[in-house]
Amino acid sequence: MLVWFLPLFLLLLMVGLPVFFALLAAPGVMLWLNGQEKDLVLLYRNTYNGMDSFPLMAIPFFMLAGEMMNRGGITMRLVEFSQALVGHFRAGLAQVNILSSMLFAGLSGSAVADTSALGSMLIPAMEKEGYTRKFAAAVTAASSVIGPIIPPSGIMIIYAYVMEQSVAALFLAGIVPGILVGTGLMVVTNVIARRNGGADFPDLRRRATWPEKGQASLKAFFPLLTPVIILGGILGGAFTPTEASAVAVAYAAVVSLFVLRSMSVKDLPDVLLKAAITSSVVLLLVGAAMAFKTVVSLSHAPEALAAFILSLSQNPIILLLLINLLLFVIGMFLDAGPAIIILGPILGPIFVDLGVDPVHFAIIMSVNLTVGLATPPMGLVLFVASSVSGERVESIARAILPFLAIEIFVIFLITYVPAISLAVPGFFGFL
Amino acid sequence: MAGFIGTLRGLAALNGAMLRAGRWLGILCMALMVAFILVQVFWRYILSNPLPWPEEAARFLMLWLMVVAPTALRRGGFVAIDMIQLALPRMVGGTLTLGLLLLSLLVLVVAAQIGWSEVTGFSGKFKTSALYYPTTDGWEKMPRSWMMASLLIGIVMMVSVTVELILRQIGIMAGLEDQLPIIPDTDAVGAE
């Protein structure tokens, strides 16, 4: 009987019940129908205990650090730095957009923050240079998915917590896949620009001189130091990820308030509030997911699902292909964070039993669901790119297809070449 | 009809004031959380003398961020797939939305009942390990119920917000949309 809570959960989700309520309502109703009303208290307790976690505190802190970096000059400095490095490439400003996303990913763990911060600056600039608006918006949306792949990353912290993995290992495992996605997007941009014969693409810009490069590097120095502090602190054993995230907040505050003066003390309440609101929603989701996870294990649903999956094939290569398809479809409709919270406890153990490394599986899931943020019809960043650019979602969705193709190719590379994800954490002794 | 709109306006004003207070508390919690963890980093790594309380105090404050969650709920920031509701004819979609709001209310009311028994019950009587508060007889260890009350208060605030959203939905379905009080800053506050 209890096993029916999964279909009920999916039904509630599909008809539009917010994920938080669906995570509690479906198991709650099934426990009640099963005559286990007394266990409802377990759902409540696990929700509370799920939120009461020190490692989880890194989420509000990284959100706060990203929010502070977002204010004012920091995004601009990253763009200028990217311009000096790749601005002279074919489709230069599009390449700048992608490289800026990769750099921005080192400061923020969110694709939405990336799209709104870089899009509001670069989409108008690209249009002014002669790019079509839909292309500019598509490049912004496609490259923003790098945000949660390159560390720090909100979804990796959630995955690590829900699945009891090391945050540091997941952060490290995301570096190469993130760079691969970025490089792939740059190659596709170049190919599109060449094939197009320059019709929609402005003339090549001149290469930045060394003094210009030096000046841009100097201006971007403080923002670019953030990922070094975060990862260096964690890897050097100086801080836990939560402490590193608090240090990142302090660093972002000092740089924004006193060094770059891009933020004033008056802005602080608003910045703190934005981070607090988003964090409270994520905390509730994670808490409810921990309660959901308990009922998942009580219901023997993973065993039933595992038996079904294994009846399709015993070959991990084919199963990984199927799971990628499933994740990709789910990613089209659901944000990466909630999808990881829901699917991680169900799918993770099945694949780990099949011999897939848990860190590798975490990256397959995270990258796949993150790319889902930019896929039609429900990709969140498509909507953000649309509101930032004023272009219709449908046109961006069409223009983004070549970029999605390369992102899907990278997902397959990550899936079938575990070293892409595992080499860096392995090198640092996290495996 | 005037009575209905009056009730909704009264509830909206009450929620507005309650959520504003919650937001200021959330801002304070967030600022203090950062400060406490930095104190911990300084004492542990610079002075090599770790303090017992910052971690627990920061967790305490993080749990109290629950008082800003109702703001997100009211502004439509709880992640949901609303494709079907939007695709359905207006009245059918509206009825579905109303049904989902009622189900959310049911979840919240049951959670509030359990939360109350948890906070006032056995587990709430335990003490926190490193947090103290001043009394006339000196310093007392803080009861765990003070931490546990955060989720309960957040849920009770969400009950009030959900009742307002239900009344709004009834108002929309009754064609009173232009008379409904405006919810400020309605935007997407997602998990991503």
Contact (CB<8Å) B191/A16: no
Distance CA A246, CA B61 (A): 14
For testing contact with chain B, the best of A37, A45, A48, A67 (most B CBs within 10 A)? A48
B59, pLDDT greater than 90: yes
Give the integer Cα–Cα distance in Å for A34 and A268. 50
**Tokens read off for A303:** 């065993």
Q: What is d(CA A139, CA A116) in angstroms, rounded to the nearest whole number? A: 13
Q: How far is CA A72 from each of CA A127, A180, A219, A264, A267, rounded to the nearest angstrom?
A: 22, 29, 14, 10, 11
ipTM, two decimals, is 0.93
Residue A224 binned pLDDT confidence (cut-offs 50, 70, 90): confident
Q: In chain B, whose CA is at the least distance from the CA of A65?
A: B34
User: What is the percentage of chain B residues whose pLDDT exceeds 90?
Assistant: 71
Which amino acid would we find at residue B162?
A: T
- For residue A239, give the nearest of B41, B62, B189 by CB distance: B41
Angle at the Cα of A51 (from A50 to A57), degrees rounded to 5?
A: 125
Print the SS3 string covering B71-123: HHHHCCCCCCCCHHHHHCCHHHHHHHHHHHHHHHHHHHHHHHHHHHHHHHCCH
Task: Judge whether B53 and B131 are in contact, CB under 8 Å.
Answer: yes
Share the mean pLDDT of chain B: 91
- Which has the higher per-residue pLDDT, B112 or A222? B112
Closest Cα in chain B, distance from residue A411 (Å): 20
pLDDT for res A249: 92
Supply the pLDDT for residue B108: 98
CA B151 to chain centre: 7
b/e map B112-140, b = 16+ CB within 10 Å: bebbeebbeeeebeeebeebeeeeeeeee
Q: Which residues pair with B134 in a beta bridge?
A: B139
Q: Is A280 within 8 Å of B118 when comparing Cβ atoms? A: no
Q: What is the pLDDT of residue B189?
A: 43
Tell if the CB–CB gap between B81 and A44 is shorter than 8 Å.
no
A 182-211 residues with CB < 8 A to B: none
pLDDT(B22) > 90 = yes
Round to whole Å and give the CA distance between A236 and A84: 31
Q: Using CA coordinates, name the residue in chain B closest to A43.
A: B111
Judge residue B147's burial from the number of C-beta atoms within 10 Å of its C-beta, 0-12 exposed, 13-18 middle, 19 or more buried: buried
Average pLDDT over residues A301-311: 79
Which residues from chain A sit within 8 angstroms of residue B103, using beta carbons?
12, 17, 21, 25
Mean pLDDT of B52-67: 96
pLDDT of A402 over the 70 cut: yes
CA angle A365, A146, A84 (to 5 degrees): 160
Measuring CA to CA, which residue among A23, A13, A59, A8 is closest to residue B111? A23
Report the pLDDT value the prediction gives residue A413, as an integer from 0 to 100: 96
pLDDT confidence of residue B187? 47
pLDDT tens-digit map of A86-111: 988 888 899 999 999 999 888 877 78
The rounded distance, in Å, linking the Cα atoms of B180 and A113 is 32
Minimum mean pLDDT range among A191-200, A368-377, B34-43: A191-200
Mean pLDDT of B26-46: 94
Q: What is the pLDDT of residue B81?
A: 78
- pLDDT digit string (tens) for A53-70? 998 899 899 888 888 877
What are A225-280's pLDDT values in tens digits? 888 888 888 888 788 889 999 999 999 899 888 888 888 999 999 999 999 998 99
Pick the residue from chain B with its C-alpha nearest to A108.
Answer: B192
Q: Give A 301-340 residues with CB within 8 A of chain B.
A: 333-338
C-alpha dist (Å) from residue B31 to A61, A71, A250, A268, A380: 10, 17, 11, 9, 29
Torsion sign over Cα A230, A233, A235, A239:
negative
CA distance A309 to chain B (A): 26
**Set of chain B residues whose Cβ sits within 8 Å of the Cβ of A331:** none
Contacts of B170 (CB under 8 A, 6+ apart): B4, B98
CB contact under 8 A, B80 and A17: yes
Which whole-number Å values give the CA distances from A242 to A71, A170, A192, A272, A366, in the listed order? 23, 14, 42, 17, 20
Q: Flag whether pLDDT at B30 surpasses 80.
A: yes
- B40 CB neighbours in chain A (<8 A) are 243
Cis peptide before A152 (omega within 30 of 0): yes
Q: Where are the alpha helices (DSSP H) in A34-166?
A: 40-51, 58-70, 73-86, 92-105, 111-129, 133-144, 154-162
pLDDT mean across residues, chain A? 88
Nearest chain A Cα distance for residue B9, angstroms: 24
The pLDDT confidence band at residue A2, using thresholds 50, 70 and 90, is low
Q: Give the model confidence (pLDDT) of A158-175 as tens digits.
A: 999 888 899 999 999 999
Measure CB to CB from residue A16 to each of B23, B41, B100 and give the nearest one. B100
What pLDDT score does B190 carry? Answer: 41
Per-residue pLDDT averaged across A3-26, rounded?
A: 89
Mean pLDDT value of segment B95-103:
96
What average pLDDT does the segment A397-417 reach?
95
Strand partners, B143: B127
Give, to the nearest 10 degrees, the angle between helix A154-162 and helix A58-70.
180
Q: Which two tokens stand for residue A203?
A: 């003339």
- For B74-85, what is the mean pLDDT? 83
pLDDT value at A198 more than 80: no
**Which of A216, A192, A213 is CA-nearest to residue A91?**
A192
Distance of CA A239 to CAs A58, A192, A199, B3, B119, Å? 12, 44, 51, 58, 34
Q: What percent of chain A has pLDDT over 70?
A: 98
Residue of B nearest to A285 (CA): B191
Q: Choose among A110, A277, A334: nearest Cβ to B81.
A: A334
Residue B52, classed as helix, strand or coil, is coil
SS3 category, A147: coil
Instruction: Return the pLDDT at A95.
Output: 93
